[in-house]
């Protein structure tokens, strides 16, 4: 990654900066080449953690299957102590085998510790398939949550 490009994009970008929720320092914007248009990701200068907005993980990994597995249908419960640096909502831990990443339950952004991007790339190369049963459980959790909170259900609860 070219330092000059980073400096330029830093100045040109009027986007607000995120703070690393581990080090509480401002993260740097870094422009990364993908197979499509370049994307700008946020990198912590202290711990080298990476923040990815929704959709950016797939572009970085060039693996939709793996990124969808980690960011879609992730349930409703939080197993992570982390707060989303983008929208300040709760996050959940999602696993690709032994690699654990934090995903925001609200905005779908992803936090990667310094070496997790490389670990995920390796998983992708191995042809990671994912744990279907774990995914079904989370899907079920979402369905139950939606059913509980449907307008019709709330209406009926009033009369109980
Ligand atoms: Zn940090
Ligand atoms: Zn968020």
pLDDT exceeds cutoff 70 at 135? yes
For residue 106, the CA-to-ligand 1 centroid distance in Å is 21
Q: Can you read off the two tokens belonging to residue 36?
A: 């499509």
For residue 41, the CA-to-ligand 2 centroid distance in Å is 15
- Please, which pLDDT band fits residue 150 given cuts at 50, 70 and 90? confident
Q: Kindly list the protein residues that place their beta carbon closer than 5 angstroms to ligand 2, a single-atom ion.
A: 84, 86-87, 104, 106-107, 109
Tokens 């996050």 locate to: 91
pLDDT exceeds cutoff 60 at 123? yes
Specify the higher pLDDT residue, 46 or 6: 46
For residue 12, the CA-to-ligand 1 centroid distance in Å is 23
Other CB atoms within a 10 A radius of the CB of residue 110 amount to: 28
pTM of the entire predicted model: 0.82
């Amino acid at each position: 990654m070219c330092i000059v490009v980073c400096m330029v994009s830093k100045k040109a970008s009027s986007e607000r900066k995120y703070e690393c929720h581990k080090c509480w320092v401002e993260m740097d914007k870094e422009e990364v080449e993908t197979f499509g248009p370049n994307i700008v990701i946020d990198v912590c200068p202290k711990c080298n953690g990476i923040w990815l907005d929704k959709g950016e993980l797939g572009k970085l990994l060039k693996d939709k299957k793996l990124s969808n597995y980690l960011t879609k249908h992730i349930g409703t419960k939080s197993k992570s102590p982390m707060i989303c640096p983008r929208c300040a909502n709760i996050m959940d831990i999602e696993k690709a085998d032994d690699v654990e990443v934090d995903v925001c339950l609200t905005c779908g952004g992803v936090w990667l510790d310094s070496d997790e991007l490389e670990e995920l790339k390796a998983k992708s190369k191995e042809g990671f398939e994912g744990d279907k049963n774990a995914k079904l459980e989370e899907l079920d959790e979402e369905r139950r949550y939606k059913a509980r909170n449907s307008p019709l259900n709330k209406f009926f609860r009033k009369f109980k």
